[in-house]
Amino acid sequence: MDIAGMLTKVREKRPLVHHITNMVTASECANITLLAGGLPVMAHAPEETAEMVAHAGTLVLNIGTLTPAQVEAMLSAGKRANELGVPIVLDPVGAGATTLRSVSARRLLDELTISIIKGNAAETAILAGGAAEIKGVESLAVSGDIAALAAALARAKQTVVAVTGAQDIITDGHRLIEVSNGHPLMAAVVGTGCMSASIIGCFAAVTDNRLDAAVAALVVFNVAAELAAPQAAGPASFKERLFDELYRLEPAVVTARQKITERVIS
Amino acid sequence: MDIAGMLTKVREKRPLVHHITNMVTASECANITLLAGGLPVMAHAPEETAEMVAHAGTLVLNIGTLTPAQVEAMLSAGKRANELGVPIVLDPVGAGATTLRSVSARRLLDELTISIIKGNAAETAILAGGAAEIKGVESLAVSGDIAALAAALARAKQTVVAVTGAQDIITDGHRLIEVSNGHPLMAAVVGTGCMSASIIGCFAAVTDNRLDAAVAALVVFNVAAELAAPQAAGPASFKERLFDELYRLEPAVVTARQKITERVIS
Amino acid sequence: MDIAGMLTKVREKRPLVHHITNMVTASECANITLLAGGLPVMAHAPEETAEMVAHAGTLVLNIGTLTPAQVEAMLSAGKRANELGVPIVLDPVGAGATTLRSVSARRLLDELTISIIKGNAAETAILAGGAAEIKGVESLAVSGDIAALAAALARAKQTVVAVTGAQDIITDGHRLIEVSNGHPLMAAVVGTGCMSASIIGCFAAVTDNRLDAAVAALVVFNVAAELAAPQAAGPASFKERLFDELYRLEPAVVTARQKITERVIS
């Protein structure tokens, strides 16, 4: 997989990534999009989302700090994105934690064609119809094989599912790829999950292969984390270095460090 | 007071701290909660707040960038928290600056059982029925003895009042403790007040002694600030170091540096 | 122009800068205001904006992540600001990108007396009745002479127009000043445009000369950027150093480095 080539494409094309997102990590998501090579725009008023998405390379829907009005804005923008062939990335933050989030995430999946779902293990399990132990927006434990659940969800919704964690799993229901890059400090920074969806958004705008887009984005983010960690004294300096490293990441370094393996779906 | 032991407890128990908070410092509050050892979740839709708080160790209500809809979400979550015995921390940001904030803060105090109020001197004075000079969300001057006002408020509302400033004052109306740790650079970073409420939220989830929880949280935050300041070139690098130092703070260092004194209530 | 003297005045007077702003860069705008010497307050509920602005030195209206409810809050606060003589700074983020933003920006300009408009080239061109290529909130290209468009807009609305870019242009329609300070890394940090409006807000509160206020604010911000850049490893460390440098910026250094030239309006 030519991940380095895709990174170069993102930087050349500078795709607009339209986010309808939460108020906690909006700044981080905007910055990470810019650092990865895209152009971020955040717009959530139902009066403008369908118009804004017409200019976008990708639409990212993130349900953290969700309200019912935001769900309507997401549906309106999402339907327009589907008409125009703009790929949609869904980050189902906190699905399983409350009825509003679970029901809304399922409604987005039912009423829209989603290109890529990016969630943690618990969110993925819940959307796949499985069971999980959730603490707020954190995934504590999942009953069952998360890879099998992700693949089942991908097949049921004809989408790509990316499950982030110590090891990232990306599957379209037929192929399953594991990314082993990354660093534990990522879990000590709020919003690395949200940020990974933004980077996936950048990559989904430059290739039609959604599996490749998700894998490439997660490799790039995780390799930047590996380069940042040795320079960090803790999570905050790690975050700063991670941002800097992503911005200046050389494609050849990505190629040299990428750790992806294809697994048989169990 | 075994502040070091409480810090260890927070890190072991990892309490979920549910915030209904403002859009300015939400990212900072989420990060500081994670760094202190808790798990943050932000959720403000009235459709989900009562459900989310059922999983929480503490509910933090922060009225910065308040709207009437948010007040309803706070009351709904707060009533459920009270039923379940989940402690509530109130940060009355800007009480006294506008009618909406003053009236809303008083309404939250009247209709909910609040475990701990964390405010600056002016906010505390206003809620205690005193007078203060306020500039936006900054406290300029208070007419009268802030310690006496805080103690009166604590007695009237049967709560704990924590007043942050150059010296922090914490009182349940009967005992009054002063924390002398900290650093002036904290005042040059937006949201250190909000962040201190989040850390208090972490500690309130691991002890029933609300006075101890507030004192311990402020000592821990202020000691991290003392360790960060000598490494900083200004407020932004100070904030980064503060976050890192809080994350790696050793309990023995807290014990060695804590400066708390009990005062007679005047 | 005594830019150094104005900076000293901001730090002495500590003006309250009331923002009605977007959810992406609110934290950055609040921090930059504090670092420049002002006191930030963010308040957007229509129930309190008119009351809050009465205490303010300046009102900053930023239409990023705009909603129709926010427009009402801006009009209500803006009318009160006009009655009281509180200057208004408008940042028309994304004007031209969607109908909601273009119409709202024009409505604010029509119904309020705006002291200073701070936009990028595309936003300025659109408000001046020209044409521009826009990608989300980024300005790609403008048809026509941006200086002439800015001057025409300033004359039509009897306001000052500040256009930020590689070179900043500030005009009241009669005089036109160019600021050549700054650094390319500013474009790699989300929100430097929004932040510049906040700093302009600080300076507009300490002088009646609106042209001088805008020029001084942009010089100060850009000089801090020049000092920060050599210390940075990328956009995130640059942002941290920029914040630190702004906070400790010595007036004499501003005087030594300021690069402003007056041009004839074409």
Beta carbons of C248 and B240 less than 8 Å apart: no
At B144, the pLDDT band (50, 70, 90 cuts) reads confident
Give percent above pLDDT 90 in chain B: 94
At A27, the pLDDT band (50, 70, 90 cuts) reads very high
Q: Is the pLDDT of residue B266 over 80?
A: no
DSSP letter, residue C233:
S
Please answer whether residues A261 and A169 qualify as being in contact, where contact means their C-beta atoms are separated by less than 8 angstroms.
no
Residues C236, A245: Cα–Cα separation, whole Å: 9
Residues A195, A38: Cα–Cα separation, whole Å: 13
Beta carbons of C67 and A47 less than 8 Å apart: yes
Please answer whether residues B40 and B57 qualify as being in contact, where contact means their C-beta atoms are separated by less than 8 angstroms.
no
pTM equals 0.98
Q: Which residues of B touch C247 (CB under 8 A)?
A: 188, 234-236
Q: Which residues of C touch B98 (CB under 8 A)?
A: 43, 48, 51-52
Q: Which residues of C touch B27 (CB under 8 A)?
A: 27
C239 contact B CB<8A: yes
Mutation pick from A17, A39, A42 vs chain C, by most beta carbons of C within 10 Å, is A42
> pLDDT tens across C58-111, in order?
999 999 999 999 999 999 999 999 999 999 999 999 999 999 999 999 999 999
Chains in contact with chain A (at least 3 beta-carbon pairs closer than 8 A)? B, C
Beta carbons of C100 and A248 less than 8 Å apart: no
Q: Which residues of C touch A44 (CB under 8 A)?
A: 65, 67
Q: Which residues of C touch B64 (CB under 8 A)?
A: 42
pLDDT, mean over chain C = 97
B229 contact A CB<8A: no
* Buried-state track A22-36, b at ≥16 Cβ within 10 A, e below 16: bbbbbbbbbbbbbbb
- CA angle centred on A122, ends B28 and A75, rounded to 5°: 75
SS3 at position A3: helix
Q: Which residues of C touch B234 (CB under 8 A)?
A: 35, 243-245, 247-248
* Closest Cα in chain C to B134: C55
Beta carbons of C52 and B27 less than 8 Å apart: no
Q: Other C-beta atoms within 10 Å of C250: how many? A: 10
Residues A42, C128: Cα–Cα separation, whole Å: 24
Find the CB nearest A190 among B27, B239, B245: B27
Residues C205, C86: Cα–Cα separation, whole Å: 8
C15 contact B CB<8A: no
Chains in contact with chain B (at least 3 beta-carbon pairs closer than 8 A)? A, C
**CB half-sphere exposure, B248, CA atoms < 13 A:** 14
What pLDDT is recorded for position C266?
A: 67
Q: Is the pLDDT of residue A266 over 70?
A: no
Q: Chain centroid to CA C235: how far?
A: 21
Chains in contact with chain C (at least 3 beta-carbon pairs closer than 8 A)? A, B
B189 contact A CB<8A: no
What pLDDT is recorded for position C137?
A: 86
| Most distant CA pair in chain B, distance | 47
Residues A150, A158: Cα–Cα separation, whole Å: 12
Query: Looking at residues A8-35, what average pLDDT do you find?
Result: 98
Residue (of B91, B26, B90, B16) closest to B54 by Cα position: B16
In sequence order, what DSSP letters do the residues of C70-107 get, joined into one string?
HHHHHHHHHHHHHHHT--EEEE-TTBTTBHHHHHHHHH
Q: What is the 3-state secondary structure (H, E, C) of A218-266?
A: HHHHHHHHHHHHHHCCCHHHHHHHHHHHHHHCCHHHHHHHCCEEEECCC
Residues C50, C90: Cα–Cα separation, whole Å: 17
| Kind and range of the H or E run holding A209 | none
* Buried-state track B220-238, b at ≥16 Cβ within 10 A, e below 16: bbbbbbbbbbeebbbbbbb
What are the tokens at B262?
């009990």
A190 contact C CB<8A: no
What pLDDT is recorded for position C59?
A: 98
Residues B167, B216: Cα–Cα separation, whole Å: 14
**CB half-sphere exposure, B203, CA atoms < 13 A:** 28
What are the tokens at C201?
């807000």
**CB half-sphere exposure, C68, CA atoms < 13 A:** 7
Find the CB nearest A243 among C22, C100, C236: C236
Q: Other C-beta atoms within 10 Å of A263: how many? A: 12
Please answer whether residues C197 and C91 qualify as being in contact, where contact means their C-beta atoms are separated by less than 8 angstroms.
yes
Residues B200, B216: Cα–Cα separation, whole Å: 8
Residues 6+ apart with CB under 8 A from B41: A94, A97, A136, A137, B16, B17, B18, B19, B52, B56
Q: Which residues of A touch B52 (CB under 8 A)?
A: 97-98, 136
Residue (of B201, B241, B172, B221) closest to B10 by Cα position: B201
Find the CB nearest B243 among A64, A134, A236: A236
Residues B234, C243: Cα–Cα separation, whole Å: 8
Residue (of A211, A180, A185, A28) closest to A118 by Cα position: A211
Q: In terms of pLDDT, which residue wins out, C134 or B80?
A: B80
Q: Which residues of A touch B26 (CB under 8 A)?
A: 23-24, 65
**CB half-sphere exposure, A19, CA atoms < 13 A:** 36
What pLDDT is recorded for position A264?
A: 83
Beta carbons of A44 and C65 less than 8 Å apart: yes
What pLDDT is recorded for position A18?
A: 98
Residues B258, B178: Cα–Cα separation, whole Å: 11
Sign of CA dihedral B209, B210, B212, B216: positive
Query: Tokens 């007077």, residue?
Result: C13
Q: Which residues of A touch B23 (CB under 8 A)?
A: 23
Residues B20, B26: Cα–Cα separation, whole Å: 9
Query: What is the identity of the amino acid at B227?
Result: L
- Distances from the Cα of A42 to the Cαs of A204, A265, B60, C185, C218, in angstroms? 17, 37, 27, 21, 25
Beta carbons of A100 and B42 less than 8 Å apart: no
Please answer whether residues B176 and B159 qualify as being in contact, where contact means their C-beta atoms are separated by less than 8 angstroms.
no
Q: Which residues of C touch A47 (CB under 8 A)?
A: 67-68, 100
Please answer whether residues A86 and A115 qualify as being in contact, where contact means their C-beta atoms are separated by less than 8 angstroms.
no
Mutation pick from B24, B42, B134, B138 vs chain C, by most beta carbons of C within 10 Å, is B24
C231 contact A CB<8A: no
CA distance B6 to chain C (A): 30
Query: Tokens 């009270």, residue?
Result: B82
Residues C227, C182: Cα–Cα separation, whole Å: 9
DSSP letter, residue C18:
E
Residue B16, strand partner residues: B39
Residues 127-186, chain A, touching B (beta carbon < 8 A): 134-138
Spell out the domains of chain C, with CATH numbers in brackets.
Answer: 3-263 (3.40.1190.20)
B217 contact A CB<8A: no
What pLDDT is recorded for position C170?
A: 98
Please answer whether residues C125 and C142 qualify as being in contact, where contact means their C-beta atoms are separated by less than 8 angstroms.
yes
Q: Which residues of C touch A58 (CB under 8 A)?
A: none
Number of H helices, E strands in chain B: 11, 11
SS3 at position B252: helix
Residues A116, A94: Cα–Cα separation, whole Å: 17
Residues C126, B212: Cα–Cα separation, whole Å: 58
* Closest Cα in chain A to C101: A48
> pLDDT tens across B159-217, in order?
999 999 999 999 999 999 999 999 999 999 999 999 999 999 999 999 999 999 999 99
- Judge residue A145's burial from the number of C-beta atoms within 10 Å of its C-beta, 0-12 exposed, 13-18 middle, 19 or more buried: middle
Q: Is ipTM strictly over 0.90?
A: yes
A237 contact B CB<8A: yes
Residues A236, B32: Cα–Cα separation, whole Å: 10
CA distance A77 to chain C (A): 13
A66 contact B CB<8A: yes
Query: What is the identity of the amino acid at C114?
Result: I
Q: What is the CA radius of gyration of chain C?
A: 17
- Distances from the Cα of B138 to the Cαs of A124, B152, B188, C46, in angstroms? 44, 22, 12, 21
Angle between helices C235-248 and A26-36 (to 10 degrees): 120
pLDDT in tens, chain C (266 residues): 999 999 999 999 999 999 999 999 999 999 999 999 999 999 999 999 999 999 999 999 999 999 999 999 999 999 999 999 999 999 999 999 999 999 999 999 999 999 999 999 999 999 999 999 888 888 888 988 999 999 999 999 999 999 999 999 999 999 999 999 999 999 999 999 999 999 999 999 999 999 999 999 999 999 999 999 999 999 999 999 999 999 999 999 999 999 999 998 86
Mutation pick from A190, A194, A231, A240 vs chain B, by most beta carbons of B within 10 Å, is A190
Query: Tokens 């679970």, residue?
Result: A102
Sign of CA dihedral B166, B172, B173, B174: negative
**CB half-sphere exposure, C8, CA atoms < 13 A:** 10
> pLDDT tens across A137-194, in order?
888 889 889 999 999 999 999 999 999 999 999 999 999 999 999 999 999 999 999 9
Q: Would you put residue B94 in left (φ > 0), alpha (ψ -120 to 50) or beta?
A: left
DSSP letter, residue C47:
T
pLDDT, mean over chain B = 97
Mutation pick from B240, B242, B249 vs chain A, by most beta carbons of A within 10 Å, is B240
Find the CB nearest A135 among B39, B45, B245: B39
> pLDDT tens across A185-197, in order?
999 999 999 999 9
